[in-house]
């Protein structure tokens, strides 16, 4: 029987929908502003990131929807033309959110929200995180004036040029803030485990989401700050740092008795999924296995703390920073605050969450209610 979701759940989905839509729109507007100011290389990078993220999200969304559709009885030879058209028009994810604002079958809600959590995470690390690095890099770069060359033509602005007026700077701040919100909200609403075989364990509460959001806000802000200030001085060497971190995380994930251990999954698929998760681990930790969870988190955040400290130190010692002490202190404070909220979450919030089982069709699902 179709029913409306509780008001708190509707509010949760409205926030997710608004965050996703605004992030995409402001990234596109930011790209136009960059093109208008002559930042052609940065414009190309921005549009490439946005288009790639949209394509990946729509393809995954349509694939998951068709998998469920064809599994239904009496649907052989009946393609869902409307969902296919909406995904081709790049609004399939928005359509998925809209479906939760009307009466739905409660026994299927967890699978729908699970898909949205995964799609939100895909958007966060395919678009929001790269755009956040790009936007913060432009925001923090010292103002420079390009000299006129021998032909009397002003050279094309590079990706390292800052904003030249207040309006552009404000747009950059808004777009970067939305990107940061998207990443933190995606991680906060991802829950501790949303893998398909454990979808019955998906429990989202407002208290848990808020604490996780603050936890991610601190650690992600510190990580982005460390990578950005390093890139201000050493430019494209930051990609070497990201690449080395990705390789380390990838080797860690494919090591024995780690993620996917004991599951019937082919080696190529395991390597593919591990490569994707390793990219997420460049910025944040996501729990995908209950075994030795605390030990893995301690190791991850110790490595992250040392790496952030080395990046900020390398930037500081370059002598090209205006206020290194304030920036370093802000990054350290954000990281410590994030870890403090993480400890509070696992100490008081996670222990209070109850595991709901939806093995029967008549059970009641409440995601955001107390």
The full DSSP string for 101-166 is TS-EEHHHHHHHHHHHHHHHHHHIIIIIHHHHHHHHHHHHSPP--PPP-TTS-PPPP-TT----SH
Percent of the chain with pLDDT over 70: 79
Average pLDDT over residues 152-160: 45
The pTM assigned to this predicted structure is 0.84
Q: Mean per-residue pLDDT for 52-76?
A: 86
Band the pLDDT of 162: cuts 50, 70, 90: very low
Q: Categorize the per-residue pLDDT at 74 as very low, low, confident or very high, splitting at 50, 70 and 90.
A: low
Give the model's pLDDT for residue 366: 45
Contacts of 89 by beta carbon, 8 Å cutoff, 6+ apart: none
Which pLDDT score, from 0 to 100, does residue 257 have? 72
Phi-psi region of 260 (alpha: psi -120 to 50; beta: other; left: phi over 0): left
Give the whole-angstrom CA distance, residue 176 versus residue 95: 25
Distances in Å between the Cα of 110 and the Cα atoms of 13, 27, 197, 283, 314 are 13, 30, 12, 27, 46
Say which residue, 362 or 201, is predicted with more confidence: 201
* pLDDT at res. 362: 40
Residue 369 above 60 pLDDT? no
Mean pLDDT over the full length of the chain? 81
pLDDT for 25-35, tens place per residue? 999 999 999 99
Outline where 37-99 has alpha helix (H).
Answer: 40-71, 81-88, 92-99
- Residues 79-97 have a mean pLDDT of 92
Answer yes or no: is pLDDT of 279 > 70: yes
In this predicted structure, the answer to whether residue 323 has a pLDDT above a threshold of 80 is: no
- In this structure, are residues 235 and 214 in contact, taking their beta carbons and an 8 Å threshold? no
Question: How far, in Å, CA of 235 to CA of 219, rounded?
Answer: 23
Residue ranges per structural domain of the chain: 1-191, 206-352
CA 286 – CA 248 distance, rounded (Å): 16
- Whole-number pLDDT of residue 73: 63
Largest CA distance in the chain: 77
Residue bearing tokens 């008549």: 362
| pLDDT of amino acid 204 | 59
Per-residue confidence at 147, pLDDT binned at 50, 70, 90? very low
CB 136 within 8 A of CB 35: no
Q: Tell me what the mean pLDDT of segment 319-333 comes to.
A: 81
Please tell me whether residue 2 adopts helix, strand or coil conformation: strand
pLDDT: which is higher, 4 or 123: 123
Distance CA 357, CA 234 (A): 51
Q: Read off the pLDDT of residues 195-254 as tens digits, 9 standing for 90 and up.
A: 555 554 555 577 878 888 999 999 999 999 999 999 988 888 999 999 999 999 999 888
Confidence of residue 158 (pLDDT cuts 50, 70, 90): very low
The answer to whether 241 and 233 are in contact (CB under 8 A) is no
Give pLDDT, residue 149: 43
pLDDT at 21 over 90: yes
Q: Which residue has 């490569």 as its token pair?
A: 275
pLDDT reported for residue 367? 43
How far is 243 from 282, CA to CA, in rounded Å? Answer: 9
């Amino acid at each position: 029987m179709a029913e409306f979701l509780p008001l708190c759940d509707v509010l949760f989905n409205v926030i997710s929908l608004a965050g996703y839509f605004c992030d995409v729109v402001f990234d596109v507007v930011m790209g136009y502003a960059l093109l208008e100011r002559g930042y052609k290389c940065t414009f190309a990078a921005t549009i490439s990131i946005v288009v790639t993220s949209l394509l990946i999200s729509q393809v995954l969304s349509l694939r998951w929807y068709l998998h469920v559709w064809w599994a239904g009885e009496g649907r052989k030879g009946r393609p869902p033309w409307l969902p296919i058209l909406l995904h081709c028009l790049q609004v399939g994810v928005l359509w998925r959110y809209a479906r939760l604002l009307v009466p739905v079958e409660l026994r299927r809600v967890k699978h729908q929200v699970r898909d949205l959590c995964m799609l939100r995470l895909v958007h966060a690390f395919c678009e929001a995180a790269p755009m956040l690095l790009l936007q913060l890099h432009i925001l923090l770069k010292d103002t420079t004036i390009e000299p006129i060359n021998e032909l009397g033509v002003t050279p094309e602005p590079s990706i390292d040029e800052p904003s030249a007026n207040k309006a552009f700077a404000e747009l950059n701040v808004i777009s970067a803030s939305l990107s940061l919100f998207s990443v933190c909200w995606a991680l906060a609403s991802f829950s501790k485990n949303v893998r398909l075989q454990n979808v019955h364990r998906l429990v989202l509460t407002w208290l848990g989401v808020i604490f996780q959001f603050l936890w991610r806000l601190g650690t992600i802000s510190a990580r982005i700050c460390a990578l950005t200030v390093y890139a201000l001085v050493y430019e494209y060497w930051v990609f070497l740092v990201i690449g080395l971190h990705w390789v380390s995380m990838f080797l860690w994930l494919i090591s024995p008795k780690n993620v996917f251990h004991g599951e019937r999954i082919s080696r190529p698929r395991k390597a593919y999924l591990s490569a994707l998760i390793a990219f997420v681990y460049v910025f944040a930790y996501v729990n995908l296995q209950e075994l030795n969870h605390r030990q893995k988190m301690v190791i991850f955040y110790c490595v992250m703390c040392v790496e952030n400290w080395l990046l900020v130190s390398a930037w500081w010692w370059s002598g090209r920073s205006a206020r290194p002490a304030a920036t370093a202190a802000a990054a350290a404070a954000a990281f410590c605050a994030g870890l403090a909220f993480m400890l509070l979450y696992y100490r008081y919030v996670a222990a209070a969450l109850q595991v709901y089982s939806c093995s029967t069709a008549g059970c009641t699902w409440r995601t955001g209610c107390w």
